[in-house]
Amino acid sequence: MSAHRCCGIAATDAGREARAEESTGDGVRPPTFMRRCHDIAAWIIPGAVLALLPKCPLCLAAYIALVTGVGVSMSTLMYLRTTLVVLCAASLVYLTVRSLRRTRRPKTCH
């Protein structure tokens, strides 16, 4: 008899689906097309913002004025640029940690 509760569920009628998933590999369903697109976009968007964000606040002011037609003060631009850099860097760190945790997740059932 198995000591793992999840292995005992597979023997019941309700566990037939679990056995079908286990027969495809490690029991993890492959991601759907939309999930893969979301995961790729989650990496591309903050990286692109960091790569395309102007380093000079005056360049950022010119870009905002061209796109929106609205002028913005220098202090606002400094806070806006710093906030964008911090948010993009934090999201890339989060995605890296999440990716590492997914690859190092231990198996719960043999």
Q: In the chain, what are the domain boundaries? A: 1-30, 31-110
pLDDT at 8: 54
pLDDT at 20: 47
Other Cβ atoms closer than 10 A to 67:
8
Predicted structure pTM score? 0.61
Contact 85, 53 (CB under 8 A): yes
pLDDT at 22: 46
Nearest-angstrom CA–CA distance, 74 and 60: 10
What tens-digit pLDDT sequence spans the chain (110 residues)? Answer: 555 555 555 455 455 554 444 445 566 678 899 988 998 999 999 999 999 998 888 888 888 889 888 888 888 889 989 999 999 999 999 999 998 988 887 666 65
CA angle centred on 79, ends 74 and 84, rounded to 5°? 125
Nearest-angstrom CA–CA distance, 95 and 44: 11
